[in-house]
Amino acid sequence: MKVARTREELATCRAELTGQVAVVMTMGALHAGHVELVRRAHEVGDSVVVTIFLNPLQFGAGEDLDRYPSRLEADLALCEHERVELVFAPTTDIIYPCGTPDIRVSAGALGDRLEGEHRPGHFDGVLTVVAKLLHLTAPDVALFGEKDAQQLELIRQMVRDLDFPVEVRSVPTVRETSGLALSSRNTYLSDSDRSVAESLNKALNAGVAAAGSGAAAALAAAHAVLGATSEVTVDYLALVDDETWEPAGSDTRAARLLVAARVGTTRLIDNVQVTLATSGEHTTSAPDAG
C-alpha cells in the first residue's frame, strides 16, 4: 500500500494504478462502515484509493472539529488490511494551500434544507472538498454511504450538473446489532447515551411499519417514539420524496425518513427508505436492514 501526503506524491502514485479506480472518501476514525465501503470499492474497481482528510470547511462555529476522533496510524493499518492500493492523507495546507478558499461549490436550494438549515454552509464545504478530491484522485467510481443521504444526493447532483467524469455509487448503512447506525461520532457516546441513541433507529422503524397507512401516519409513528424519550433533542424528523427531496405527499410512494438529533453532547443522523401507501391504497413495508 502506498501512502501519499502531498499532491506530487499522489500524482505519482495515481499514475501507477491500472484499470478502473474506485475511491472512498473519509475523515478518518475508520470503522466497519468504512470497511464496507472499501470492500464494495474492490468489487467495482481494479484499484482502490482511500482519502483521509478532516475537512475544516464543513464544520461550523461551535461544532466538533477540534475533538473529532483522529487515529491515522490505526486507519492506515486498517486500509492495509483491506488491501487498499493507495491512501491519500494530506494536511489542511495541502488541500487548501491558499488558506480558506473564497470560491466554493454551492450546494443550492437543497443544501439549505434539513441538515443545511441546522448547519449553514456545511454542504458547501462538503461539495468543495469532494470536488477537489475527485480532481486530485481522478477515480472512475466514487462510493459514499447512504447514512449521509442528503450529502449523497447533493454529490450526485454536483457530479451531474458540473459534468464530473465519475460514477457515484451508494452503499447501504452499516449498523450495530442494536440498529444504531455506525458513525465515527459514536465514540462520543457513553453507555447510557448509546442506549438512548438506539431510539433513533427505533423511531425510523416505527415510521416504516406505519407507512402502509400513508405519509402522515409514518411521521406520526416516528414522532411518537422520539417524543417518549426525553433525553433526545430532535433537530428534525422529515419524510421526503426519495427522488425530488420535496416533502412526501399523498401521492408519494418511494420516500425517505430522516432524523437528526442530539443525545447528550453528540449529534447523530440516520435515515431509512420508506415505501408509502398512496391515496386509496395500503401497503406493507419492511424496515431497512442497513
CB contact at 8 A, 149 and 173: no
CB contact at 8 A, 261 and 286: no
Give me the residue label for grid cell 406520526: 220
> Which amino acid makes up residue 256?
R
Active site residue 34: yes
Q: Could you give the CA distance from residue 35 to residue 48 in angstroms, rounded to a whole number?
A: 12
Cβ atoms < 10 Å from Cβ of 156: 14
**Residues in the chain, how many?**
290
- Residues paired with residue 105 on neighbouring β-strands, in sequence order: none
Strands (E), the chain: 2-4, 21-26, 47-52, 86-88, 141-145, 167-171, 232-241, 254-263, 266-275
Q: Tell me which DSSP letter residue 174 carries.
A: P
Spell out the residues 6+ positions from residue 177 whose beta carbon is closer than 8 angstroms to its own. none
Catalytic residue among 34, 81, 118, 135: 34
Cβ atoms < 10 Å from Cβ of 225: 20
Report residue 129 CA to chain centroid gap.
14
> Which amino acid makes up residue 91?
T
Spell out the residues 6+ positions from residue 269 whose beta carbon is closer than 8 angstroms to its own. 115, 147, 148, 181, 183, 258, 259, 260
Q: How many helices (H) does the chain have, and how many strands (E)?
A: 9, 9
Q: Tell me which residues are annotated as active site.
A: 34
